[in-house]
Chains A and B, each alone.
Chain A
Amino acid sequence: MLVVLQFLVFLPLLGFFLSLLFSGQKERWISTVTFGALGLHLLLVIVFSGLWVATDAEVLDLKHIVFYKEDTIEIYLDFYFDHFTAVFSVLGAFITFLVAIFSSFYLHRDEGYKRFFNTLLLFYFGYNVVVFSGNFETLFIGWEFLGITSFLLIAFYRDRYLPVKNALKTISLYRVGDVCLILALWMSHHLWHENITFIKLNHVDLVVAHIQEHYYFVLFIILMLVIAAAIKSAQIPFSSWLPRAMEGPTTSSAVFYGSLSVHLGVFLLLRTYPYWETIGVAKLLIIAIGVITALIASSIANVQASVKTQIAYSSIAQIGIMFVEVAMGWHTLVLMHLVGNALLRTYQLLVSPSVLGYMIHDQFFNFQPKEKIAQTGFSLKWNSTIYMLSLKEWEMDRLFMLLLWRPVKWMGRKLNFVSSKWAIVILVIVYITGLVAFSFEEQIPQQLDEDIHLLFGFIGLILVLRSFVERDNAIRAWALIIFSQFFNVLSIALLNDKYEYQEILLYISGLLISAVIGLVCLFKLKAKERKIDLQSFYGNVYEYPILSFVFLMSCLGFVSLPFTPSFIGIDLMFSHIHKHEYLLIIFTALGFLLLEIAVLRIYARLFLGPHSKLYHPVAYRSS
């Protein structure tokens, strides 16, 4: 039975590869492959879960492919099956299968028909990786797939401004979650001295002893996990992305944001429950998030006058309640609640266009003019305040603008000098010095060694930051990013004696291929368009769809799409930073956070959005 697990995970991926084979006009083939893969998967998970329940329902754990192995480090896929997996996989299969059928009619003759089903299958694969994951590494791989496919589906209507803007916004926030997850992974690696599997977290004695030993470090891990879960489930204060993510076809909004994707935060909490169930602070934190979210999100849902936004916020509020339920240990209830909510919101989103006809009709017969309740004094003030705050979504958007993006942009702008010619010359010299230092590491005093690696990590971060605000030249932005990665790697190599050429090579090789392909794309584009800046969105995908695709692939390789060498490289890189290296981990994590955003920003600005050449119908910016 154990062996079957891997088929359950990889079947959607197989479907994805098959679906790539057909041209966009072969709608029937594409949908047949999709139905085949999803239908078979649904059948398999139902049968599998049934058999599993019938045979004692014992937790399953399968150690799968080992990606990398060294004396202290082992990175491998691990699959796992328990009742949470069963519920999530059956729910996911059920909804995705039905919505895929729905979509095959709904998207008929849509320009992005093929893109939609490809992305849906890839998303579904990511979902299953998460749900079946047996350790944090595996979960992280799935998590990453969800992020990327979300970006692609939000920006599905790539010739308009708002989808692209909101896709970038969502992926930026997702990225914060990813970084939290990778930090949790990093810390837990150092605490356990291995890649802890979820099955081991079930050993109460082991976990309790472990927590006693490293209390504050464990708190850190849990905090990171909770933030990651809160972002994925759009909890306060991370809620405002969810309604804005509903830019794709209604069906994709229904699968992603109505049901499967948003409930994964709850899954993460359920999965790690044994780890934090004995820690009161953690429980309190989760309950607090849940309660605050339930109250605020439902106050926002109350004032929403657009259907999809209303559904988004009411779903968020329910998930808030689920956070509480998880923390209280009411896990049967939470599963019921979750399945019910997912089905209800999926259905409501799918039929959301009907609301106009239905409610107008209803009003036609039942209209009651709102009676004015004469309010005065405090209750009037209170109600008006709540109304206005809710209409403004409690300023969550502004909060992020002020706390997150404005400082980053401000810092980036202060760094303009970095791209000047002499600065580059100096950086190259510094880098060569670093390489030399690395080669003769044994001869350098320990203290100097540590200073240098910090400096390098810092430079790496500065370069990404600089790239993040670059507006005049896309090639420069890209080059800065490449450069920053070289500094990062060297920084960690310098620090860590065990970090060997082999590992650097692994990372660099993955990076380099993508970097070069990306560069070639940019030069090609420049040859055609002469000037490629990042001042606004240019929508070049209209004229260069293939170039755009290749560049996207190189971006994904660059930001370490799972299974690319650089992905493993990143994992290794993090594993090599010790747990007391606070500064370096901050630099690296921030750099990692900004890296993907900076790269996707280049892609989005150059290739997506309303086309800048007005010789054909181009959408309004506000549409």
Chain B
Amino acid sequence: MENISSFDEMHLLHELKHYLPSQTPLKDFIHHNSLHAFQEMKFFDAIFKASTIFGYQATLPLQDFRSLYHIGRIDDDVLSRVIANRKGVEAIEAWKSNCLHKQYDEVNVPRIGLLRQEWKRKYKIDVDNSVQPLLFRILVGYLDQGIAHTSFPATGLGFLDSIRALEQNSFTSFFTSSRAKQLLQKSSITIAELLEIVVGNEAFYEQYIFDQQFSHRGWSGIVATVEDRPETLLSPKKISLHDVIVFELLLEIDRLDTVLGELWEPIAKDSILKPIDLFASIEEQEFHEILKIWQEAFEWSYYDEVLAGIQQLKMQNSTGSTTTPKPSFQALFCIDERECSLRRHIESTVPSCETFGTPGFFSVEFYFQAFGAKFYDKLCPAPVTPQYLIKEYDVTDARKHDLLYTSKTHQLATGFLSSLTFGFWAGFRLIQTIFKPKMSPAISNAFAHMNLQGKLTIENTSLEDKENGLQVGFTVDEMTSRVAALLNGIALTKQFAPIVYVVAHGSSSANNPHHGAHDCGACSGRPGSVNGRVFAAMANHPKVRLQLQALGIFIPESTQFVGALHDTAADEMEYYDVAILNDENRLLHIQNVTAFEHALDLNAKERSRRFASIDTKQDIKKIRKAIKDRSVSLFEPRPELGHGTNTLCVVGKRTLTKGLFLDRRAFLNSYDYETDPEGKFLTGIMRPLGPVCGGINLEYYFSRVDNQKLGAGTKLPHNVMGLIGVANSSDGDLRAGLPWQMIEVHDPLRLMIIVEHFPEIVLQVIKSDTSMYEWFINEWVHLVAIHPESGELFYFRKGNFVHYETLAKDIHFYKDVHTLLEGAKEMETNHIVHATQENLPVHLYD
């Protein structure tokens, strides 16, 4: 029966790519929503659908929610209110009882994978077991970026053609039977043709391929990503999902032919099975309703406390005096929630200083070419494609090498000599690594991203000066518009202090393939040092200042900007171009550095409370040293905890949160509604919040609730594959998502964005862009507008802002931050019920 094919290969490949993980090679770690494929649906519909199709765990297990309720982490009043909102006031008792006591069948057998189980039933053959190890080995060999000494021959041709060439030019073969070997050489071979042999029934084609590719979603995902964005690999590889599917089908045919001869019946021929529409809508289940209630109750138990805190603080502030003296210095930080504690500490150290938060690329987007580098680093948010290039020059330090890593040690003769020489050196290094950890070339060092003494091509000298289509440096006009945009956005347009620090951040860590995930998300997973330095240089440029005046921003001549980098793992700071400071500012700078050092001490102490190996009560300098050692310790799988616990994003003046202890859980974006009554700047500020902060938050969420399927599992057994990813063993699938060590402290709550502006303006802003609106209307993030005048709270629900009344009454208060930190609980185990107890409640402080 040769009807016109209903099977559409293009469509299938397109659909597949949509649902496969889109994580890039690990060198470019960019956080994103793990379920991005479902983002056009409402959050809960999406997660339960994904769960039904792919078997992901979509929320915490029911039992964990119940335990969280019993320890008081989920508030009873909040639970009642959530039920009332969803089911009506009269249903509270009934649903609460269901939530707490009713037994549900929690088993979730996914739709994916059912068809291919037939192989085992039909022929007692474990197809995956015999195909996957070879397939993965060939894939990693092909994609390898430089581990193997002998690389895959003929990679320039494309995956399938390379294998064809290899097979033709060899005395051996990847196949053990003849049919598949012949089929491979047929250049016109199509997926449909092979599926006819393997599946035999068109109704099952799509399902079969989905089953097949999702049995190793890691590898398929990286193939799809590299196909669409080949530039993510330094050593370019031509590969396509199509080629991989064809090859895998051929290997399957080969395996079955070898065992059964060529006359086996396709898997779905005359099958008693019915084809499954993987993406068919799912039935409503009471169990899902229960999970929705619990999830929201868990979320609001925290949000409510935060909102109450903000409100209370606002009330206090409105009674206090509003005169602000001229600040002693100002510092711009990334909105990153890891900087929120450092800002708190520098403010408490120097009460007269002023801090701001803005995405850590500081509105300057460009590619960066380090001195001697053969490639560019993109230093701006992932979706942006910069037109500019900043080059580093005049670097005198030589790059250091570590001979213990050279691939020569893996060859026969050189390996022999290495054993006899380096071997003993390695023994010595082993001792040093353990007892005296220190920075080495093999440790990713945030400060090495850019050389302290090197120079940068910041200013464009001629519009003709282009490299690879990129303009080298920015013109004065271009600089001015960027500086103005940033300063307007954070409302720093007057009252400039003598020194304005532009503090970027990065992270040093050892033995950590996921180190990119700790760097600045707004700089595409790199340290932001170049951006900080470039922005400072722009803002110091006399011509730029002149143009800024025309735009109403008057920066006095005595004010100087200084770029800096904060290493969030080591808690160290480095300052750039301080030589340009005038005499007066140089003295001030020395004072400020001392203050920053003090704040870093405190920051280290605050972070240390979550590290079992450091005693928070010991001398603060010792803590600081221990924190620094951590970042260079090869044995430390948690150099820092990354974005763990991130839950909030506050867009507003610093006064909104200054005085509120948010436990490093809040992204803080400075913004002043007064300077932006129509929400013009607000649109620019809010557009990236979904993809950047929301992306981070959701990746943590999903890696937390299902670390096995959506996360990378524990990192302890990870094996680096081809320099592009990690797998658990030599024959394993690539693991996308975050490792267990990064998410164990995280409470899986969606992001709550709090904006200080009139609700109608906020509504107008989010509706101005459909892709931005999707994040809110589909509930992937929560949104609250805080009325700037009345302080009332409005929650965005189903397309409108509705009034929100907080339940929490008494907000904790602390006088001495040391007591608070030293008294904090430490988790017994990393089970959510224990882990969440490490989080400190919202506190007010002086």
Contacts and interface: CB of A to CB of B under 8 A. Distances in A.
Interface of A: 25, 27, 94-95, 98, 101-103, 105-110, 156-157, 160, 162-163, 166, 243-244, 246-251, 253, 294-295, 298, 301-314, 317-318, 321, 336-337, 339-344, 346-348, 350-367, 369-370, 372, 380-381, 383-385, 387-392, 613-623
B169 A109 contact: no
A311 B409 CA distance: 9
A350 B234 contact: no
Interface residues of B, number: 119
A52 B719 CA distance: 42
B373 interface: yes
B141 A249 contact: no
Residue of B441, B705, B717, B718 contacting most chain A CB atoms (<10 Å): B717
B26 A356 contact: yes
B426 A348 contact: yes
B728 A623 contact: yes
A95 B426 CA distance: 11
B411 A388 contact: no
Given A351-B442, A360-B145, A614 B634 contact: no
Contacts of A107: 716
B404 A308 contact: no
Nearest to A249: B716
28 contacts: A102-B634, A105-B637, A156-B717, A160-B728, A162-B731, A246-B717, A253-B717, A308-B719, A314-B415, A344-B409, A347-B429, A353-B726, A355-B720, A356-B720, A358-B402, A360-B145, A362-B146, A362-B401, A365-B373, A385-B172, A387-B166, A388-B174, A615-B106, A616-B57, A617-B708, A618-B55, A620-B217, A623-B735
Given A306-B721, A365-B374, A614 B109 contact: yes
A336 B442 contact: no
A620 B708 contact: yes
Contact of A244 (B108, B140, B730): B730
Given A318-B419, A340-B423, A351-B634, A310 B147 contact: yes
Given A305-B148, A353-B720, A623 B713 contact: yes
A424 B68 CA distance: 55
A354 B443 contact: yes
B247 to A, nearest CB: 14
Contacts of A622: 128, 132, 215-216, 218, 732-733
Q: Is the interface of A mostly helix, strand, loop or mixed?
A: helix
A306 B140 contact: yes
Given A353-B715, A359-B723, A617-B57, 15 more contacts: A156-B717, A157-B714, A160-B728, A302-B410, A306-B727, A314-B410, A344-B404, A353-B720, A354-B511, A357-B443, A360-B27, A364-B374, A365-B374, A385-B172, A390-B150
A618 B708 contact: yes
Nearest to A341: B419
Contact of A388 (B170, B235, B412, B427): B170
B732 A623 contact: yes
Contact of A314 (B153, B409, B708): B409
A611 B752 CA distance: 35
Contacts of B429: 347
Contact of A357 (B152, B444, B613, B705): B444
Contact of B134 (A308, A354, A392): A392
B829 interface: yes
A354 B510 contact: yes
B296 interface: no
Nearest to A360: B27
Nearest to B64: A616
Residue of B109, B144, B401, B732 contacting most chain A CB atoms (<10 Å): B732
Contacts of B729: 162-163, 166, 244, 246-247
Interface string B401-425: 1101101011110011011111110
Contacts of B404: 344, 347-348, 351
Nearest to B719: A308
B406 to A, nearest CB: 10
B151 interface: yes
Contact of A250 (B409, B441, B717, B731): B717
Contacts of A302: 148-150, 410-411
Interface string B147-167: 111111100100000000010
A337 B423 CA distance: 8
B94 to A, nearest CB: 24
Residue of A157, A341, A347, A369 contacting most chain B CB atoms (<10 Å): A347
A496 to B, nearest CB: 42
A304 B150 CA distance: 8
Nearest to A240: B730
A401 to B, nearest CB: 9
A163 B145 CA distance: 26
B635 A106 contact: yes
A303 B709 contact: no
Contacts of A389: 172
A160 B733 CA distance: 12
A248 B716 CA distance: 8
Given A162-B731, A304-B148, A385-B171, A367 B234 contact: yes
Residue of A156, A246, A355 contacting most chain B CB atoms (<10 Å): A355
A343 B430 contact: yes
B415 A358 contact: no
B288 to A, nearest CB: 14
Given A249-B716, A622-B216, A617 B706 contact: yes
Nearest to A244: B730
Given A109-B744, A166-B729, A355-B405, A98 B634 contact: no
A339 B511 CA distance: 24
A373 to B, nearest CB: 10
A340 B173 contact: no
Nearest to A377: B169
Interface in B431-450: 431, 433-434, 441-444
Nearest to A304: B148
- A-B complex: 6 closest residue pairs judged by Cβ atoms: A340-B423, A305-B144, A314-B410, A347-B426, A249-B716, A615-B106
A361 B636 contact: no
Residue of A243, A337, A620 contacting most chain B CB atoms (<10 Å): A620
Contacts of A309: 719, 730
A358 B744 contact: no
A381 B169 contact: yes
Interface string B384-401: 000000000000000101
A346 B170 contact: no
A7 B714 CA distance: 38
B513 interface: yes
Contacts of A354: 405, 442-443, 510-512, 634
Interface in B77-100: none
Contacts of A614: 55, 107-110
A6 to B, nearest CB: 28
B351 interface: no
Residue of A305, A309, A358, A622 contacting most chain B CB atoms (<10 Å): A305
Nearest to A320: B412
B638 to A, nearest CB: 8
A244 B146 contact: no
B575 to A, nearest CB: 24
B317 interface: no
B318 to A, nearest CB: 45
Given A298-B412, A370-B151, A619-B708, A613 B107 contact: yes
A233 to B, nearest CB: 15
Contacts of B279: none
A248 B373 CA distance: 37
B716 A106 contact: yes
B4 interface: no
A311 B511 CA distance: 16
Contacts of B399: 365
Residue of A243, A306, A620 contacting most chain B CB atoms (<10 Å): A306
Given A101-B434, A157-B717, A392 B732 contact: no
B147 A620 contact: no
